[in-house]
């Protein structure tokens, strides 16, 4: 069974080098040599990462024979953002609960300090 | 080298069954048997998926010996949302460009239709 589109995207993002490549492409098109420069990695190793990103639709390559620049394609990242969005209420609730708990702790501390001063 | 936290999260999300399990946990805690029910899958196969989700910190298991309910932990999903957020400008720009292009097409169509009527 062919993996679904979102799974292919997540798998492509499950690597720090591939995420670093995407981050570098935010500022514009880059050649493979330019992308390889900051990594201690051979060109074939970088090319392999680029193929994974290309298959996931996260980058596209130019057609110039000499210089096939890579550019970022943000569509799949939008899908990831939309997928996570349905869970937003959960982490916001959690932070709200933590906030309530901290407020309660602070109130207790204040009451405790007041009692101590009276003694 | 141990994979970084975000890579572990993305790898755990790169599977439709695991994402379906997370979606079911939005409404509350579930036992392994309850989680396995909608999938044509053995309990050990579901347990394996749960271990991957647990290692990524996406779920936590209760400590009750008989019934170890699973609950969703939204923290890593918040990290994913924050990571994608930095690319938002890119896909919004792309949609803006598409919108401009569509407006131009509509204007052209109108001009063309007006010219035809005059002929």
Mean pLDDT, residues B68-89: 93
Q: Is the minimum CB–CB distance between A77 and chain B shorter than 8 Å?
A: yes
Whether this prediction's pTM lies above 0.95 is answered by no
Rounded to whole angstroms, the Cα distance separating B73 from B56 reads 10
Which three-class secondary structure state does DSSP give residue B37? Answer: coil
Task: Determine whether the interchain pair A75/B81 forms a contact, defined as Cβ–Cβ distance below 8 Å.
Answer: no
Per-residue three-class SS string for chain A: CCCCHHHHHHHHHCCHHHHHHHHHHCCCCECHHHHHCCCCCCHHHHHHHHHHHHHCCCEEECCCCCCCCEEECCHHHHHHHHHHHCCHHHHHHHHHHHHHHHHHHHHHHHHHHHHHHHC
Task: Determine whether the interchain pair B19/A6 forms a contact, defined as Cβ–Cβ distance below 8 Å.
Answer: yes
Task: Determine whether the interchain pair A14/B11 forms a contact, defined as Cβ–Cβ distance below 8 Å.
Answer: yes
At residue A2, does pLDDT exceed 70?
no
Question: Angle CA(B83)–CA(B87)–CA(B91) in degrees, nearest 5?
Answer: 140
Rounded to whole angstroms, the Cα distance separating A27 from A32 reads 15
Q: Is the minimum CB–CB distance between B74 and chain A shorter than 8 Å?
A: yes
pLDDT in tens, B2-23: 679 999 999 999 999 999 999 9
pLDDT of residue B65: 65
Name A96's Cβ contacts closer than 8 Å, sequence gap at least 6: none
Instruction: Compare all CA atoms of chain A with the CA of B93 and give the residue at the minimum distance.
Output: A74
pLDDT of residue A78: 95
Residue keyed to tokens 């409404």: B27
> Chain B closest CA to A74's CA: distance in Å?
5
Name A44's Cβ contacts closer than 8 Å, sequence gap at least 6: none
Which three-class secondary structure state does DSSP give residue B35? Answer: helix
Q: How large a percentage of chain A has pLDDT more than 90?
A: 52
Mean pLDDT, residues B43-70: 89
Enter the ipTM. 0.80
Q: How far apart are the first and last CA of chain A?
A: 74
Task: Determine whether the interchain pair B77/A91 forms a contact, defined as Cβ–Cβ distance below 8 Å.
Answer: yes
Task: Write the DSSP symbol of residue B65.
Answer: S
At residue B62, does pLDDT exceed 80?
yes
Chain B residue numbers with beta carbons less than 8 Å from the beta carbon of A56 are: none
Q: Pick from B14, B74, B94: which is nearest to A14 by CB? A: B14
Mean pLDDT, residues B61-77: 86
Q: Is the minimum CB–CB distance between B26 and chain A shorter than 8 Å?
A: yes
Chain B residue numbers with beta carbons less than 8 Å from the beta carbon of A83 are: 19
pLDDT in tens, A91-115: 888 767 777 877 888 888 888 777 7
Which of these, A4, A71, A63, lies nearest to A35 by C-alpha position? A71
Q: Is the minimum CB–CB distance between A11 and chain B shorter than 8 Å?
A: yes
Task: Write the DSSP symbol of residue B38.
Answer: T
> Chain A closest CA to B13's CA: distance in Å?
6
What is the average pLDDT value for chain A, to the nearest integer? Answer: 88
> Chain A closest CA to B108's CA: distance in Å?
28
Per-residue three-class SS string for B67-105: CCCEEECCHHHHHHHHHHHCCHHHHHHHHHHHHHHHHHH
Q: Is the minimum CB–CB distance between A37 and chain B shorter than 8 Å?
A: no
């Amino acid at each position: 069974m062919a993996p679904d589109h979102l799974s292919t995207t997540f798998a492509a993002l499950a690597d720090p080098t591939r995420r670093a490549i995407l981050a570098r492409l935010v500022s514009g098109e880059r050649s493979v040599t330019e992308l390889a420069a900051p990594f201690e990695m051979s060109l074939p190793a970088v090319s392999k990462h680029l193929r994974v990103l290309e298959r996931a639709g996260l980058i596209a390559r130019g057609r110039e024979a000499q210089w096939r620049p890579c550019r970022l394609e943000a569509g799949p990242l939008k899908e990831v953002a939309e997928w996570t969005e349905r869970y937003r209420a959960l982490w916001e609730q959690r932070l709200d609960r933590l906030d309530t708990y901290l407020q309660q702790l602070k109130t207790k501390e204040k009451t405790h300090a007041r009692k101590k001063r009276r003694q």
